[in-house]
Amino acid sequence: MSTLRKLYRRTLSNESRYWLYKLRHPRQFEHLKTRVNEHPKGNFSLRGFAEREAIFVHITKSAGTSVALSLFGELPYHYTAWHYRVIFGRKDFERFFKFTFVRNPWDRLYSAYQYLKNGGWDEKDKAWAQTHWSHIQSFDQFVLEWLTPERLSSHLHLRPQSYFLKDSRGQLLIDYLGYFEHIAEDFAVIAQRVNPSATLAHTNASKRGDYREVYSPETIQKVGDLYREDVESFGYGFDSLNRQEVINGKLVAARG
């Protein structure tokens, strides 16, 4: 990488670089808001976001496929909230209702591990798991020997949930925080705002057992350390939840 490119990356945040890319390719971004990419498991498109003035930040392994198909009939991409701020522009982004679903980090990691080990979404996921995890024989080995802070960014399914929701300054960019553990009631709240006729359908579930049965004290500690921001931001313990809600752009303990 050239010295100039390194300086460019150090000086500008990912979002700032994305804004510059948008300035150079405005038509591409306009097309992105309406195009449909067909897929046997469900078409991908952002057109429903503009139609319903709502943005769903789809965090991996947090029931996002079910939520998106139920509300919009199509799937969004795994863009972060700041990606959407660039795609739709600051004015519409601030005006739209922005929501997500989060999940217990220990549960989510085990789900992601099982999902990728079983082939993932497509051949790309399958090939990635074969390349990186062919020697991994157990979840314990995966956590204790393979998983490191640097490797959290090696696959989208391993990234912390906070990565999807905050900008480079740590500012939370959503209006409503739904919880996987309370998906039925939270979906009902969101649906009233976005699509009152929607009902929740369950799809894309991983083949797995209760996550609490596969953890040891050592793996509990390590995963808690690796995903500390998610644990603290969203109120999770290994098998507990102190629910948070968004008030004026901040996460605070839920009332009632």
Q: What share of the chain in percent tops pLDDT 70?
A: 93
Task: Note the pLDDT of residue 2.
Answer: 65
Average of per-residue pLDDT across 75-93: 97
Q: Of 62, 66, 159, 54, whose CA–CA distance to 99 is shortest?
A: 54
Cα-Cα-Cα-Cα dihedral sign, residues 161, 156, 206, 69: positive
What are the pLDDT digits (tens) for 187-228?
A: 999 999 999 999 998 755 555 679 999 999 999 999 999 999
Residue 1: pLDDT above 70? no
**pLDDT reported for residue 202:** 72
How do beta strands 236-237 and 176-179 pair? unpaired
Query: How confident is the model over 174-183, as pLDDT tens digits?
Result: 999 999 999 9
User: What is the average pLDDT value for the chain, to the nearest integer?
Assistant: 93
Question: What is the bridge-based pairing of β-strands 44-45 and 36-37?
Answer: antiparallel
Query: pLDDT (tens digit, 9 = 90+) per residue, 27-59?
Result: 999 999 999 999 988 899 999 999 999 999 999
pTM of the model: 0.92
- Listing DSSP states for 193-211 in one string gives HH-TT------S------G
